[in-house]
């Protein structure tokens, strides 16, 4: 953690968006969406958080396996400082993991269970629970050391024009944020609300699903769920949004 | 199917109280098609009712015009301590229920 703080001090010099211009996606949403996100009861994402809390203490069918709570205790305290640091390098495998991959790693290696499939209700429930308890934190990812090549790859993906529309992420979310695209105001494209409840989906979804929706919108080829490209891009996005508080579960159009 | 109920922690006799309910349900409209081009059967919560100490105080008949994960809010008069119990049934015949105790003082 101490190393992480040091890193922020260094990279803060080369921010893409100065702190004074950093705006969470919720600031581009209408008053109804803002109200829904802030209402801890009516926010539909809380249904997943609540289910996650039940799953957290559920002992898997296999006799020797423990529940999440068996190792990690109360998620409200043990998961306070977790979600804001993902994606991050896993110290044992050296791989770049996002929160969902980390949860599944725990599930298969420590609980001996079949990993949950991408966007399954169970995986979304646990990831939204963990993200919700990390809400007090600002995004704070490590981008040096083993993470550096992934970060650079993520930066390249961000500025790479792709798809039939030949657009890069930056053309909307850096050059034209706050302008309108049909009926929508273009946000700065920060990942701090995910997993989020999107009206369009009528469901909670992960950041990966949101990235795929953007790629689909510009008619580019979609990376499959679990692709390293999504994690690399997410790492760059998290660094770009550093300092923004987490909002999970967010509510978006 | 999960659901959340919100009630005041306690209420005085005769007080008008607000009850809020959020139900997790896909509310599939029946107008959509799956990836194979097959229509997805409609599956919405048809009726939902609320009983307060055994007596029905609220009923909703819903249709495919209601968004997924419906949110409902209404008021009633607190008369005595008792269970606020919601129950609902969807097109597939799956029933759900959720209850919470309302404590009335005075």
The CA distance from B75 to B93, in Å, is 28
What gap in Å lies between CA A240 and CA A15, rounded to an integer?
A: 7
| Subunit contact B71:A203, Cβ cutoff 8 A | no
Q: Which residues pair with A90 in a beta bridge?
A: none
Interface contact flag, B22 A50, Cβ < 8 Å: no
Angle at A210 between CA A205 and CA A75, to 5 degrees: 40
Tens digit of pLDDT for each residue in A68-101?
999 999 999 999 999 999 999 999 999 999 999 9
Closest residue of chain B to A54, computed from CA coordinates: B2
How far are the Cα atoms of A78, A83, A119, A238, B53 from residue A195, in angstroms, in the given order? 19, 11, 10, 14, 38
Residue in A42, A199, A202 closest to B71 by CB: A42
pLDDT at A221: 96
DSSP letter at A138 equals: B
d(CA A239, CA A170): 15
pLDDT at B1: 61
- Please tell me which of the candidates B6, B20, B22 has its beta carbon nearest to residue A44: B22
Q: What pLDDT sits at residue A64?
A: 79
pLDDT tens figures, A25-82: 999 999 999 999 999 999 999 999 999 999 999 998 876 789 999 999 999 999 999 9
Please tell me what DSSP assigns to residue A19: G
Confidence of residue A13 (pLDDT cuts 50, 70, 90): low
Residue A9, pLDDT above cutoff 50: no
Buried/exposed code over B54-80 (b: 16+ C-beta within 10 A; e: otherwise): eeebbebebeeebebbbbbeeebebbe
In order, the DSSP letters of B15-42 are: -EEEEEEEE----B-S--B-TTSPBPPP
Residue in chain A nearest B23 by alpha carbon: A47
ipTM rounded to 2 decimals: 0.88
A237 confidence band (pLDDT: 50, 70, 90):
very high
Alpha helices in chain B (DSSP H): none
Question: If pLDDT is split at 50, 70 and 90, which confidence band does A116 have?
Answer: very high
Decide: A99 and A81 in contact? Cβ < 8 Å: no
- Name every chain B residue with its beta carbon within 8 A of the beta carbon of A203: 26, 68
3-state secondary structure A43-90: CCHHHHHHHHHHHHCCCCCCCCCCCHHHHHCCHHHHCCCCHHHCCEEC
pTM (two decimals): 0.91
Q: How far apart (Å, rounded) are the C-alpha atoms in residues A53 and A20?
A: 36
Bin A178: left if φ > 0, else alpha if -120 < ψ < 50, else beta.
left
Identify the segments of chain B with pLDDT beneath 70.
1
pLDDT at A63: 66
């Amino acid at each position: 953690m101490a190393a992480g703080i040091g890193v922020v001090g260094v990279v803060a010099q080369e921010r893409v968006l100065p702190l004074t211009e950093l705006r969470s996606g919720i600031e581009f949403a209408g008053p109804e969406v803002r109200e829904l996100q802030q209402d801890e009861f009516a926010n539909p994402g809380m249904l997943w958080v609540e289910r996650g809390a039940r799953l957290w203490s559920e002992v898997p069918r296999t006799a020797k396996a423990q529940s999440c709570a068996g190792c990690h205790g109360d998620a409200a305290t043990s998961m306070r400082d977790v979600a804001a640091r993902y994606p991050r390098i896993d110290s044992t495998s050296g791989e770049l993991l996002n929160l969902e991959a980390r949860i599944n790693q725990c599930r298969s290696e420590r609980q001996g269970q079949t990993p949950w499939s991408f966007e399954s209700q169970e995986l979304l429930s646990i990831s939204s629970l963990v993200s919700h308890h990390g809400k007090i934190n600002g995004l704070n990812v490590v981008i040096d050391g083993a993470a550096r090549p992934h970060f650079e790859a993520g930066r390249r993906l961000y500025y790479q024009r792709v798809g039939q529309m030949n657009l890069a992420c930056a053309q909307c979310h850096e050059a034209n944020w706050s302008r309108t695209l049909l009926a929508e105001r273009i946000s700065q494209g920060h990942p701090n609300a995910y997993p989020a409840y999107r009206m369009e989906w009528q469901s909670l979804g992960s950041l990966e699903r949101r990235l795929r929706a953007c790629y689909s919108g510009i008619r580019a080829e979609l990376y499959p769920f679990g692709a390293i490209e999504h994690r690399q891009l997410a790492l760059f996005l998290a660094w770009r949004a550093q300092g923004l508080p987490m909002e999970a579960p967010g509510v978006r159009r | 199917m999960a659901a959340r109920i919100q009630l005041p922690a306690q209420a005085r006799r005769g007080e008008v109280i607000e009850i809020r309910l959020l139900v997790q349900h896909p509310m599939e409209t029946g107008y959509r098609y799956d990836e194979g081009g097959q229509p997805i059967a409609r599956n919405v919560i048809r009726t939902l009712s609320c009983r307060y100490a055994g007596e029905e105080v609220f009923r909703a008949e819903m249709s495919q015009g209601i968004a997924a994960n419906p949110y409902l809010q209404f008021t009633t008069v607190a008369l005595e301590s008792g269970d606020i119990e919601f129950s609902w049934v969807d097109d597939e015949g799956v029933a759900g229920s959720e209850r919470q105790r309302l404590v009335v003082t005075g």
